[in-house]
Amino acid sequence: MKIEYVNPFISSTIHTFETMLHTNLTAGKPQLKTEPFLTHDISGIIGLSGDAKGSICISYPKIVALKAVSRFLGSEVKIVGPDVSDAIGEITNIIAGNAKKDLGGLNVSISLPNVVIGRAHKITCPANIQGIVVPFASEIGHIAIEIHLKTV
Amino acid sequence: MKIEYVNPFISSTIHTFETMLHTNLTAGKPQLKTEPFLTHDISGIIGLSGDAKGSICISYPKIVALKAVSRFLGSEVKIVGPDVSDAIGEITNIIAGNAKKDLGGLNVSISLPNVVIGRAHKITCPANIQGIVVPFASEIGHIAIEIHLKTV
């Protein structure tokens, strides 16, 4: 996977959190995804296909997801329920939708988001596709995005 | 979501398990996905986009995933590791790839599969897309597929 395909997802994540959640994210260094994998409590996943195939996952500890969704909805959410899964899915959709416009001329379409809820889950992708993980820090806590992309 | 879009996924799941895993599946009645959601241990997820957008998830209890992968690989697998996640992803990819050819003239492309590993996880999709769940029984245990599809 070319590293230049990672930057649009970083920019879109930062921009989306800034404009929709009023939260400043600081991106850490992109890393190759290696085992043992990170574990997460809540993840938004969306598939990419077209000139490139793959997926992005945006993953949160539970407490960070609740804070992120509270900011996104403008009212405090304390329990992981349909409000949270819908909002996490919508944030995933916005990030992927903005990023796909900047993939260096690649024409990519996105699927609908799925949201995974489960304490300490792991997400994998085919072993022949090198995943890239980008950690982000913010005042509400840490999140991570994982990008898997294979040009066709 | 039109019910006729469910049948290709049912047929493809049965065909794939029969030919690649030498396992006969019996499909139960398709159901609207309602809360409380089913929980799973291992799920393969793949995104769909094009004339229709959405996703399919094929979910297993851990013991059933191990038996399914053992049959797929032709050797017994006892631990959930990279072999299992790769095989579950590949099975998901085959099922989606075969089903998309039979979606009544809809031109749909598939993303790469993600595999979620985590005890008792739930998977959600946007609330405005009615998901359909199809349970399957077999000699190795029960699995379920969830189909979310929205024509564009």
Looking at residue B99, its amino acid is: A
Indicate the residue of A85, A112, A119 with minimum beta-carbon distance to B53: A112
Angle between helices A82-99 and A62-73 (to 10 degrees): 80
| CATH number assigned to the domain comprising residue B131 | 3.40.1550.10
pLDDT exceeds cutoff 80 at B37: no
Domain span at residue B120?
3-151
pLDDT tens by residue, B91-128: 999 999 999 999 988 999 999 999 999 999 999 999 88
Structure ipTM: 0.94
Q: Do A112 and B45 touch (CB under 8 A)?
A: no
For residue B110, give the chain A residue with the closest CA: A49
**Chain A contact for B90, CB < 8 A?**
yes
Q: Identify the H or E element spanning A62.
A: helix A62-73
DSSP-based helix, strand, coil % in chain A, nearest 5: 35, 35, 30
* Residues β-bridged to residue A146: A57, A133
Give CA–CA dist A149/A2, Å, rounded: 9
Beta-strand relationship, A114-124 and B114-124: antiparallel
Query: In chain A, how many domains are there?
Result: 1
* Residues β-bridged to residue B123: A116
State pTM to two decimals.
0.95
- Furthest CA-CA distance within chain A: 43
